[in-house]
């Protein structure tokens, strides 16, 4: 396998290209630039915000979070460029391997994982820790899209739907047991998204939707009353406290209340260095899950609207790529990635604004964390690859 897939596929001289520029050499010529710019702005804003807001967090090292996030961002950008230049279609062929790796990696944390706050999610390495479930989001989409394409002509529609669901829900269940409720929800949503773009009939989604509602009712209402709670107490409290935050002033509701106060206090233009809520420990996890509240307090509506617009742009470009893809695999992958990004963004921002439950889903590209930043950039790299391949195939067709 060559790393320069685009080159091999376009070995013939191209009549409309006279000069081969540097961008072309790097394989960047057909990147979706709005998507790239949105991603770079977001991660840049993240680094900038962390640099300003976390100076006193690590004694003696004011730039602790800034430096690390910058390194993760650079690694992520490199990963994105590398993936841009790879023909994503290869991943379809590797689907079984990818899927096996995914399930193995999220299982291995149970054995070798590093326990943080009661859950085993990450491998601990000398200089960093790696959370396989973050990369797993992308791996799941890549593998599942492959399975969907592969299985398109096998079995009845119901059988296929059940098969995809099982394939998607197996890693989701493993992640749920780590326990990492938020990430497992992303897996479920990504699975459904891939199935959706894979053409699973609407009626099946109606049934799945009904089953989901029943499941939620079971988990939150029936099981606890029957004495066999499925969720851990804090998980249930987090999930339901946003409905009435005043009743949970000191627990889960407290965090959300503080986050809402912080965001609101930023008003239109933000409080800058006068920001107190997010500087003086009122808002918990402010560099990860609640970084949006930091932006809200420091930069106000102008900052949050800007960030939200970047996410809207990101989502739009990702969705657009689903329609441009040269093949169905690309459509499914792009659709899965787009919906997963939308879901994570909405749930995280909604959680910061007190309208969604606390699920511990990081804000893509903004929340501090190497695994998340790297995985998101890689997902965007795959999107870019789909875009590049679409352009190349179109041009190829045109050329021929």
Partner 1 sequence: MYLRNDSKPQGSRLSLRVAVIGGIGVALFAVLFFRLWNLQVLSGDEYLAEAQNNRTREFKVIAPRGDILDRDGEVLVDNRTSLALQLNTSKLPEDPAEERAELARLGELAHMSLRKVRRTIKEGEEVAAGAPVTLRRDVGFDLIAYVEENQEEFPGVSVQRVFVRHYPDGTRAAHVVGSVGEISDEELKEPEYKGLEPGDEVGKGGVEYSYDKFLRGDPGHTRIQVNALGEPTPGGQLVSEAPTPGSNLKLTIDGDVQAAGEGGLGARGLPGAFISMNIDNGQILAMGSNPTYDPTDLIEPSQQQVDELYRDPVLAPLVNRATESAYPTGSIFKIITALAALENGRITPDTVVQDNGQIEVGTDTFENAGGVAHGAVELRRALQVSSDVYFYLLGLDMWETDELQEWAHKLGIGRPAGLDLPEEGETLLPTKAWRNQLFKEGNTDRPWSSGDNIQLATGQGDLQTSPLQMALAYAALGNGGKIPTPHVALEVEDAAGRVLKEFDFPPQRKVHIDAGYRTAILEGLHAAAQEGEGTAAGVFGGFPIPIAGKTGTAERLPHADQSWFAALSPYPNPRIVTIATVEEGGFGAESAAPVVLDILEAIYDKQASAVSSAGGSE
Stretch that binds partner 1, among 14-22, 57-65, 122-130, 294-302 (CB under 8 A): 294-302
Interface with partner 1 (CB under 8 A), residue from 17, 159, 203, 276? 276
Tell the smallest beta-carbon distance from residue 214 to partner 1 (Å). 22
Residue 362, interface with partner 1 (CB under 8 A)? no
Residue 55, interface with partner 1 (CB under 8 A)? no
Torsion of CA 282, 288, 290, 292, to 10 degrees: 130
Interface with partner 1 (CB under 8 A), residue from 36, 54, 191, 325? 325
Interface with partner 1 (CB under 8 A), residue from 157, 206, 211, 214? 157
Residue 319, interface with partner 1 (CB under 8 A)? yes
Residue 188, interface with partner 1 (CB under 8 A)? no
Residue 212, interface with partner 1 (CB under 8 A)? no
Nearer to partner 1, 54 or 263 (CB): 263
Nearer to partner 1, 10 or 328 (CB): 328
Residue 305, interface with partner 1 (CB under 8 A)? yes
Answer for the pair 378, 29: CB distance below 8 angstroms, yes or no. no
Stretch that binds partner 1, among 116-124, 133-141, 217-225, 275-283 (CB under 8 A): 275-283
Q: How many other β-carbons are positioned within 10 Å of the β-carbon of residue 115?
A: 12
Residue 92, interface with partner 1 (CB under 8 A)? yes
d(CA 6, CA 58): 45
Residue 261, interface with partner 1 (CB under 8 A)? yes
> What string marks each residue from 335 to 354 as x (binds partner 1 by CB under 8 A) or -?
x--xx--x---x--xx--x-
Residue 322, interface with partner 1 (CB under 8 A)? yes
Residue 277, interface with partner 1 (CB under 8 A)? yes
Residues engaged in binding partner 1 (CB under 8 A): 92, 148-149, 152, 157, 193, 196-199, 258, 260-268, 271, 276-277, 280-282, 296-297, 300-301, 304-305, 308, 311-312, 315-316, 319, 322-323, 325-329, 331, 335, 338-339, 342, 346, 349-350, 353, 355
């Amino acid at each position: 396998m060559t790393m320069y897939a685009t080159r091999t596929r376009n070995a013939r001289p191209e009549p409309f290209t006279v000069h081969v520029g540097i961008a072309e050499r790097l394989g960047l010529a057909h990147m979706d630039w709005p998507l790239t710019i949105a991603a770079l702005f977001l991660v840049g804003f993240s680094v900038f915000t962390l640099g300003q807001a976390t100076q006193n967090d690590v004694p003696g090292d004011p730039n602790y979070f800034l430096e690390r996030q910058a390194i993760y961002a650079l690694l992520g950008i490199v990963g994105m460029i590398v993936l841009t230049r790879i023909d994503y279609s290869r991943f379809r062929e590797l689907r079984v391997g990818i899927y096996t790796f995914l399930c193995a990696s999220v299982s291995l944390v149970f054995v070798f994982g590093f326990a943080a706050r009661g859950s085993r999610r990450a491998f601990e390495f000398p200089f960093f820790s790696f959370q396989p479930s973050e990369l797993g989001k992308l791996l799941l989409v890549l593998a599942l899209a492959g399975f969907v394409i592969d299985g398109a002509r096998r079995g009845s529609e119901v059988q296929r739907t059940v098969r995809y669901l099982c394939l998607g829900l197996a890693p989701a269940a493993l992640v749920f047991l780590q326990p990492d409720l938020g990430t497992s929800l992303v897996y479920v949503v990504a699975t459904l998204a891939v199935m959706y773009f894979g053409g699973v009939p609407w009626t099946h989604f109606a049934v799945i939707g009904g089953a989901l509602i029943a499941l939620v009712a079971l988990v939150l209402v029936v099981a606890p009353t029957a004495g066999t709670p499925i969720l851990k107490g804090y998980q249930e409290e987090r999930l339901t406290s946003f409905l009435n935050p005043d009743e949970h002033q000191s627990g889960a509701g407290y965090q959300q209340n503080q986050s809402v106060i912080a965001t609101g206090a930023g008003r239109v233009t933000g409080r800058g260095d006068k920001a107190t809520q997010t500087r003086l420990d009122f808002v918990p996890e402010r560099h990860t899950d609640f970084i949006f509240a930091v932006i809200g307090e420091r930069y106000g509506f102008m900052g949050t609207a800007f960030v939200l617009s970047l996410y809207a742009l990101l989502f739009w470009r990702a969705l657009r790529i689903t329609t441009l893809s040269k093949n169905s695999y690309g459509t499914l992958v792009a659709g899965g990635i787009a919906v997963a990004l939308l879901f994570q963004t909405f749930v995280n921002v909604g959680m910061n604004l007190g309208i969604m439950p606390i699920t511990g889903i990081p804000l893509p590209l903004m929340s501090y964390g190497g695994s998340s930043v790297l995985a998101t950039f890689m997902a965007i790299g795959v999107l870019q690859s789909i875009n590049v391949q679409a352009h190349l195939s179109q041009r190829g067709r045109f050329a021929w």
